[in-house]
Amino acid sequence: MSALPFRFFALRVLRTARIGPTFVRVTFGGTEPTLLVSGGRDQRFKLFLPQRDQDAPVMPDPSDPDWFAAWRALDPAVRGIMRTYTVRELRAAGDATAELDVDFALHGDLGPASSWAQTARPGDRVTILGPVEEDNGGVDFRPPPGTDSIVLTADATALPAVEGILARLSPELPAKVWIEIPHADDRRELPSRADTVVTWLIGDDAPPVLEAVRAAELPGSTPYAWIAGESGTVKALRRHLVSERGINRRAITFTGYWKRGSSEDDLIAEGSA
C-alpha cells in the first residue's frame, strides 16, 4: 500500500458516449488501476494528455516526490498537458477491471482537453494523478459542524461534482441547487437521499446564476455553500453570500473551475491553479 494519498496511473480509453449536447463521457481503464480509489463527492484528479503528435503523455519519473517541479522543467511543447477533472464514477475499485468515468463539458477546439475529448477513441492513452486513499485532499465538499442545509451552484464543468455531492448527501441536509447548462438536453436526473430543489438555468435566455440566487430564499438557517464554475461568477456569488446573506466565510467552499480568457496553463503559470 502506498503511503501517499495520490499516485500516477497510466490509463486507456475503454469507450466514449455522448451523454448530452455539451457532454462526452469518457470511460478509462487499463492494466494498473487496482489502487485507484475515490472519496466521492467532488473528487478531483489531474489528467495528463498527449500532445497532438504523441501516442502517450510525456511524464516525469512517477516516483519523483517533486513530480510537479520535474513536470514544469519539461518543454511545454512536449510534456503531458495537465488539466483538472472530477471522478464522475469509479466502478470495481481495487480490481484490475476498475473503470473510471469522466464527464467532459465540451467548449469546442479552443482547449486541448475539450478538443481531445471530442475525438477520443478506445485505446487512447492518458496518465492521471489519482487518489489511493478515500480521505484525500482532492475532496473539497466538507460541510462544517452545525450545517443544517446546503447551497450548490455550478456550471457544466461542475455538474459532475454536483452529481457526486448529491449522491452522497446526508438525508438530514436539504439542498438548493442552481446549475447553468447550455442546452435543455444537458439536464439529467440528480439522485439524492436529501430533499433537493434543483433549478436549471438553460442557455443565454436564463437569468445569470447570481441573479437567480439573489432572488431566492436560501434553505435552513446555517447553510453550507459549495460554489464552482467560471472564476468571475464564483467570486461574485461568494461576495453575495458573504456580504448580502451573512454566511460565514468558513461555511463557503468556492472554486474557479476555469477562467474566461485563460487556459489552465496560464493559471498554472500565474500560480492560481
Contact set with ligand FAD (CB under 6 A): 44, 83-86, 103-105, 107, 110-114, 157, 160, 255, 257-264
Of 149 and 224, CB closest to ligand FAD? 224
3-state secondary structure (DSSP) of residue 72? helix
Q: How far apart are CA 98 and CA 87, in angstroms?
A: 13
CB within 8 Å of 20: residues ≥ 6 apart: 183, 185, 186, 187, 188
> What is the grid cell recorded at 79?
510534456
Q: How far apart are CA 51 and CA 86, in angstroms?
A: 21
Of 23 and 224, CB closest to ligand FAD? 23
* Residue with nearest beta carbon to ligand FAD: 111
Q: What is the DSSP letter of 1?
A: -
> What is the grid cell recorded at 57?
503523455
- Contact 190/198 with Cβ under 8 angstroms? yes
Of 249 and 260, CB closest to ligand FAD? 260
Q: CB 46 → ligand FAD: shortest distance, Å?
A: 10
Of 205 and 217, CB closest to ligand FAD? 205
Q: CB 221 → ligand FAD: shortest distance, Å?
A: 29
Of 117 and 169, CB closest to ligand FAD? 117
Backbone dihedral angles phi then psi of residue 190, each to the nearest 5 degrees = -125, 75
Of 8 and 104, CB closest to ligand FAD? 104
Q: CB 45 → ligand FAD: shortest distance, Å?
A: 9
| Residue among 21, 50, 198 at smallest CA distance from 120 | 50
Q: CB 229 → ligand FAD: shortest distance, Å?
A: 9
CA angle at 254 for the pair 249 and 257, rounded to the nearest 5°? 170
| Residue among 127, 38, 134 at smallest CA distance from 87 | 38
